[in-house]
Structure 1
Amino acid sequence: MGSHLTSAETFTLDSLKAVEVVNLSVSCTATCLPFSSVPKETPARAGFSSKQTLFPITHQPLGSFGVVSTHSSTLDEEVSERMFSVFSSFYQAKEKFKKELKIEGFLYSDLTVLASDIPYFPPEEEEENLEDGIHLVVCVHGLDGNSADLRLVKTFIELGLPGGKLDFLMSEKNQMDTFADFDTMTDRLLDEIIQHIQLYNLSISRISFIGHSLGNIIIRSVLTRPRFRYYLNKLHTFLSLSGPHLGTLYNNSTLVSTGPVYAEMINNLLGPLVEAKDCTLIRHNVFHALPNTANTLIGRAAHIAVLDSELFLEKFFLVAGLNYFK
């Protein structure tokens, strides 16, 4: 939603249940993994007890939690104790983090059920029956972007919903000139969508949009065009990633954030969505742990991290995002 805060707003146009605010914390650093990503001089030799049994080929310890015992009961007890210690430390650290951040909502680790339990590579099935139509997902890049910007978004949706009858249109008509006027870019995207449907003779049951940055404004413009009116009743989800709909909603400028005109604009945009009976509005606030660079200072790093971070994207779609495309 702006330069200082990377956010993902999701407009699901099926049914109005509630307006939710979800906060996700993503630490994209080398220490975010359970093991160090820094290569060591010799594998397994340093830091392991001489009592540990080494596998003859890889020279790695057989036990994930320390010394390998010949008695299974003793091993089970040690594993249980270490697991309890790990989870206890994690829980305490998480609660401390939430208090320091003073967030409203919940973290992804608070959820007991993920958005999908389907394995990434399920057994091969018979060819899908497309008689009932497909779900067309249109991905639109932002300023000075290109059709590959949302490739990871497409990948994780396809992996998480292998039987979803999804067809992706990675928009490219505006990538050669993203500084054109809105009317021109709107016409290009609308032509691209209609031509894609006609070229492949697609029977559309649902149509969703995923936009990044400026692409979200172009998407909103397309939705108002008379030529798109035929597909309005097929709208399913509008996933807006870092969309500059009103600039930054939560910003550091007291002058802007308390201004009556700014507040009126927010109400005019969100009011109809919240009140609509056939629409659910969900906002996700995302906090990235990024190195201190010039791009971080001006907000550009967080603005594009939403597309470049595999850690964030996989976590987001597994926790919640896949639900919006089912």
Structure 2
Amino acid sequence: MTTVSACLIVKDEAQNLPRCLASLQGVVDEIIVVDTGSTDDSCRIAESFGARVHLFAWRNDFSAARNAALEQASGDWILSLDADEELEENSRGQLLRELVSSARADGFYLTVRNLQPPGELTPWLDMQILRLFRHLPGVVFEGAIHEQVTPSLLRAGGNIQTGSLILLHYGYQLKEAQGKSRAHRNLELLQEALKITPDDPYLQYQLGATLKSLNLNEEARTVLEKALMRASDLSADVLAGTYMRLAQIYLMDDAFDSVMKNALACLHIEPDNIPALYAAALASYSLGKKKEAYTFFERLAARPEISEQDLSNIRQVMASIQTDFHVDS
């Protein structure tokens, strides 16, 4: 029978681990937890769920820790996830088994559903990330931060397909990681990584996203624009995320033409990207293109993720445009 090892790296994740590990019970054949220096009950909690815990001295390198977990795993397949994630309920059980048992692929992009903090326009943003892959020699994580296994799998001739599993990610709802601001922790690691590979567009994208989360918008814009200079080296979802964030930054500066340029580029890749639709709607309205704005608001209103309050506000704006310009409903 095809076996699956779930691999995690943790540090002071006692708050998140029970939810994560409970979602794996009866789903995978083993759980490998590499602890990088917890001072809370993370190790005890992991062991209570039947995980094999291994201690690893942290050296500011996420790939090194994840690869230590791969070395301990015995499964035919690896499911890589974080303590602040869980396997979505409908993705448990036979769905995972069927995916790996009948697979002609060597890896699967899974949907990582990034749950957003309260007050955001959309409750989640999805990204496709390689999280399920065959346990093959030489297939390892690379990069000190925002580590990826995709490059090594592709170099090994691996075939990657899109899987139907969903991982729920709660990290953006949490302000701290191991007692420290997640954004500030990531900022330090990204800056160090870019000293080694200063022209890496993926790291530039991640740095830009981190700077934006810290409201350092001018610095974020500069870095994101630099990432676009090597757009062909970025995956579609990362490229869409770059354009989306630039549209949001330009919107705060009332640079509406630049908003439209970036929002439309994002929507060309991801037609239902809610932040990009919202930016395009507001920019069109501000540029006096209210019929065009109506179309974007209409697309927003059709998205099931929109909250009732936001939907009500969008419909009020649409009604106002209809009144002023006699837009057909």
| Superposed pair shares fold, TM > 0.5 | no
Larger Rg: 1
Higher fraction of helix: 2
TM tier, smaller: under 0.3
Point out which structure has higher relative CO (alpha carbons under 8 A, 6+ apart).
Answer: 1
Q: Normalising by structure 2, what TM-score?
A: 0.27
Q: Normalising by structure 1, what TM-score?
A: 0.27
